[in-house]
Structure 1
């Protein structure tokens, strides 16, 4: 700007880095001041202004007629320099004193710089400047504020004039405010554009025709979008409705912002993006689109879904996925017949025991690969758990499924598995069944193939068996499997009930009852299921220890709740299964449970079968060593069922031996049974254990057993099993008349 124009620009309103804006702002001010000089016929005009609370200024001193100044002043160069310098100094003095600008000005002429009013208002520096302008008069407007612009307008003339400047000041203030707003808008738009380009995610503006009107550099590089192209070109046709609905929600104002996750076609590849839309707040009604790459999240989700539906070791579908496929096939009425198979590796535990679990894992992987090669195209093989596999054969008849089973059994039997120079034989047992569309659920089908597989194992392994509901062996196994399901449900819902049956002393005059605790399963209709039905299933499917735990837990709870009755009892017998005897977890629980019931345990007697004792002699001995310090007794049940050798009795310090019922039920008619019972009684006297006879069905048997030396009798002749909850007293009522004069054995 020229020497006679002074500018101090507000950096908050004017971009000093933009020379074009600076020149435009100065040109506006000069033009306005020239117009004021022309309208008022004055020699010069200046302005001092600020924005808001920051005192900054733009001033201009413009000659009306330079030639006029030249003709009036004797020394033109000196006069111009003195005039311009004086007025510039005046403006500087005014702007440097913010308090002066805050004061209320009154329009005033200064023909004499010593005027009292002028001297009292103007700052010292302004007075010094005016002294150099004694030939001129000064007039100033009142402070004027328009928007954020506040200014004072002044004019200088060589003669005394009465001027009204407020209107001109307001007009000038309005012009400067509009210019400042224009600069501000331009600056904000420029900042918006810079921010739009600097955003680290793809951004684009979408018009009402869904075409791209603007995009940042990231969008151009990542999305390969072209200006004026429709955003729908990025999507496959099937995904268009989702994007259309999202745009409609925002445009109709249902939501301020909406988004959708869709795969975009970028360079021929499907890449998942989250597209978010909101109004761009412009007059064109455009939408701002933000695109977030979520491919990695979808990849991780797919990976997680894979792991949740596939076996980690073999990569095959797991039980969850297999059951889902099976369920879909069962519900698909339009599909043709299908067959299902269940495979179980033979003697797999032997491989784990000899070569370790790492070898077992390697074998499972090899078997999985072989199975996939041996199946038909489209069939599915899954690992159901452990060494168990499932196969779903679509569009398969019994004949075609049988051919697949033969091929698998043959090929795997020839598979050589070697681990660290140790060779193992490999074979499988398979159960197959048609996928019955009338089956209630998939678990019925799974039970069928499981029963068929178990039958194949029992028939010698390395073979297959197709399910046939008319096969009595299959029917038995199948019913046991169904019973196992009922057992699990009964345990969870406490659908069992405790019963008791008396064990009557034949010689002793005990005052308290000696009884055996029995178990019944309660059906929904209130009827009871005999242990002969559900206990074999419990043994087969490893549920026996869970049943034993339920019985002991509920018996002790009953004893604690009925302590007076409990204390009257002489003995309470509980059966332990062979599985419980070999279950270390169960035995640890039993030890802890009994130790917290010191007032109850001395009445307990645990019964184990002879078969369990012989097969698990070490565990039986450990049980005796554990029970004796607690005061508990041990009984050997079903004694004589094996009858191969009594040598093991030397290792077992049992308290009672229960004669197997087959030797008792006909003892009055069969001399052999009578001799066996007598021999066991003699053995009991020699080895100091007491003898209990089961299946006592009449009084005659009781008297004969008494004469043979049997200590206790148990059977329907004494009493039938009753609910434990119905027991109101632990006192005993004698069963036999001690002085009976005859019994059935007299005729033998």
Structure 2
């Protein structure tokens, strides 16, 4: 406790009142602005108690200085004489309470309240800071994540187009990673990735970017760099990794890198094209014996063949033409009694090839890469509306059916008209449909997303923001997005019983959602214990394998 008081007698009386109330703090008494500044610099205080009028020094200066050293540090004014207008001004300036010296009965409750509230504010700030960091960084290696890497890659491409400068993209794949993972387990694989990240980081300049793109793949963006220098950097990375020996439980492993390289020039029009070519060059490096660097060249016959081998585009197009996409559904349940207001389920797309059901993780990345997601989204909407018509569920007075929309569909100017036509065709109520959009896609297409949501909500459609907490740099976007539901990212929900930070993040997301007037949904609720905890936190609905597994519609 930091006490700002020029009267020694008053300070003693204050400490006696604290002791009588059961508080015996570590404290320091200061009576000048300089003394206050030094005290704030030298210690982390839980609370500041200050007189109002001191020689050449008032509580307003105390408030100003305190804000500079601790945003969450509460300040109580305890004064013998303070007018009501001055007290109101002090509260507006940041004081948390004011108490008269001749009536200290409120002092102890005020201290306990403010210290408790300060702890809550600090915990919330830590949770928000964690969310912001996680929006741009890989949780395992703490390197930049794919979203942040693609953002920087976009800026590099724009620079190349505007100035003619060259930059270089390196696409790194860790050879033999699967052997380590399969023989020693995922813990060993994770440790290998972390150690490799440290090795690579030592050779990356401060203005360059090293990122984990997913799995055992890394990306390097070398700014203002020509092909010859970039190749030397890539070869150095290969050599460093090749000489490294990973040891797990006394068992050594040799690993290496295959590197694909692309010169970022004004010949390129998109980051997806850059990444695709870097990926092809990386595969070429693997085909040519691994532990080497290959520059993408459009006239390279092997790279042309590799590109031709990417069959997913034709498979997806065939599936669209032959109606091979089908829908599954996964039910949601209310967690609070007042939310038991109708059936809720999410439609999930699958690809049926013969007797094989292909999960979305197998074809969605390719569909996103080759711009086929808008067509898949339209097919899913058609299948969903048809089902709601066939079962008459789309014309009931209750029930909500969630349909996912990709980021690329949010930029489709004709999508709204297509949906309206289907509503008329199948005679369903828009109020029964809730479209899901992911947080990252909403932010990437913010203006188009807001326009689409506002237009659709006028007709009665609802919207859910999916994977909330996984990609946002702040909660400010939530104010701009007129959604109805907040689906808390399952990555946090899954671990909240064991990880206090994940628990705090889920709690913060739920509170912020409710403050914005939204219903909250916990994803990845995989057992009764998680269900009980998210119920206790006050989330409105739950979804996950512990609630119901996805099942075919028919």
TM-score (norm 1): 0.35
Relative contact order, higher structure (CA 8 A, sep 6+): 2
TM-score (norm 2): 0.47
The structure with the larger Rg is 1
